[in-house]
Amino acid sequence: MVTAQGAVVYTEVNVRATTGTHLHKLAADGILGDSSRLIRQVSASPNWGALSTEEFLAGVEKAGLSFSAGYDPGILMVMPADPERKPGAFLYATISEAGAQDDVSRALDASFRSLGLADTESTMF
């Protein structure tokens, strides 16, 4: 949805490459602007356990990775965490310069370990 002020607002975007690609471009342009940053969707590490949305966001904040337009890097929750799901069964997106996406995920992984929300270092990143 595009507001009267031209802002792109959405609650869910299916990021598979389908006929909805134009929606993904609108969303990415609204998030990235004119920067050289990239968005990458990532599956949560199974090492993180079945995190709640609050636990996930606490880990993001502790890692200093809360997304803010114009700041790099950051993390956005793509699919809300659900503690009823099996560990690692949610999605998030990293926003960072090319080549730094794994560093962002490793920082989040370290944050979850420091909060006691993950027992071991993830080997995914």
pLDDT tens digits, residue range 46-103? 888 888 888 888 999 999 999 887 777 899 888 766 667 676 667 888 888 888 889 9
Distance separating alpha carbons of residues 55 and 103, to the nearest angstrom: 20
Residues 6 or more apart whose Cβ sits within 8 Å of residue 106? 122, 125
Residue 43 has φ and ψ, to the nearest 5°, of -80, 140
How much is the pLDDT for 106? 92
pLDDT computed for residue 59 by the predictor: 93
- Alpha-carbon distances, residue 82 vs 1, 54, 66, 93, 111 (angstroms): 26, 10, 19, 16, 19
Please tell me whether residues 66 and 106 are part of one structural domain. yes
Residues 64 and 96 in one domain: yes
Asked whether residue 53 is domain-assigned, the answer is: yes
User: What is the per-residue pLDDT for 21?
Assistant: 55
**In a shared domain, residues 11 and 72:** no
Classify residue 67: in a domain, yes or no. Answer: yes
pLDDT band at residue 108, thresholds of 50, 70 and 90?
A: very high
Question: For residue 87, what is the domain's CATH number?
Answer: 3.30.70
Domain extent at residue 78: 35-114
| One domain for residues 19 and 43 | no
Tell me: the pLDDT tens digits for 7-35? 666 555 555 545 555 555 666 676 777 66
17 and 39 together in one domain: no
The per-residue pLDDT for 34 is: 66
Q: Contact 74/65 with Cβ under 8 angstroms?
A: yes
Decide: 70 and 95 in contact? Cβ < 8 Å. Answer: no
How many structural domains compose the chain? 2
Residue type, 108: L
Instruction: Specify whether 51 is located in the same domain as 24.
Output: no
Do 27 and 50 lie in a common domain? no
Looking at the fold, whether 22 and 58 belong to one and the same domain comes out as no
Q: Is the pLDDT of residue 3 over 60?
A: yes
- Mean pLDDT, residues 100-112: 92
**Is 121 domain-assigned?**
no
Regarding whether 47 and 18 lie in a shared domain, the answer is no
Between CA 23 and CA 10 the distance in angstroms is 10
